[in-house]
Chains A and B, each alone.
Chain A
């Protein structure tokens, strides 16, 4: 019940295309859902995050879609660029400020030019 399941494990998208990464969870006590981006040799960095009272959040080319009833959320990267090639992790946090994040296993995105 504490897991966050992420798919696909890897993704290849052409430059200019849309990248979509999906995550699912079981625990309805999660109240914060961030996406992190990680480049090789670097630590993860927060990309965008959403709370369950919102169905969509957009920041530039990045959009989170959230379906509370289905307990699913997804990251959409519009107009994907080679510089977006990285590993993306979804995560969830229990409804206690400051508690640790529970991460999905990651998606390696390659954007071909």
Chain B
């Protein structure tokens, strides 16, 4: 079946512009995660959605970052007034919450470049 998809695959923007990154999780997966991967760094947790519960926003680096998940499926990560340090690969993952199933399935990521 289809995996996690993300769009766009690449995004180049100018400093100060807003960007929206999209994630389509695996059908039926109730959990959705956003991570950021900077060059030479591991994956940094940003935000987590689980079903209809309030999202865990503890990883968002500033109030310029926000995310929403509509209808328990598609999610959009928005970065306002982008800065050069926002340049990174933004990865989305989804997982099933069934007992014993912990695997997070990752999308290919969106490479964001802020000029």
Give me the interface of A with B, judged by CB distance under 8 Å.
4, 6, 32, 34, 36, 41-46, 49, 89, 91, 93, 97-106
Contact = CB atoms under 8 A, between A and B. Distances in A.
A100 B107 contact: no
Interface of B: 4, 31, 33, 35, 40-45, 48, 50, 56, 59, 91, 93, 95, 97, 99, 102-109
Given A6-B42, A100-B56, A101-B33, 19 more contacts: A41-B108, A43-B91, A43-B107, A44-B43, A44-B106, A46-B103, A46-B105, A49-B102, A93-B102, A97-B99, A97-B102, A98-B48, A100-B45, A100-B48, A101-B45, A103-B35, A103-B44, A105-B40, A105-B42
Nearest to A102: B45
Given A43-B108, A98-B50, A34 B102 contact: yes
Contacts of A36: 106
Nearest to B33: A100
Nearest to A44: B106
Contact of B42 (A45, A98, A100, A103): A103
Contacts of A45: 105-106
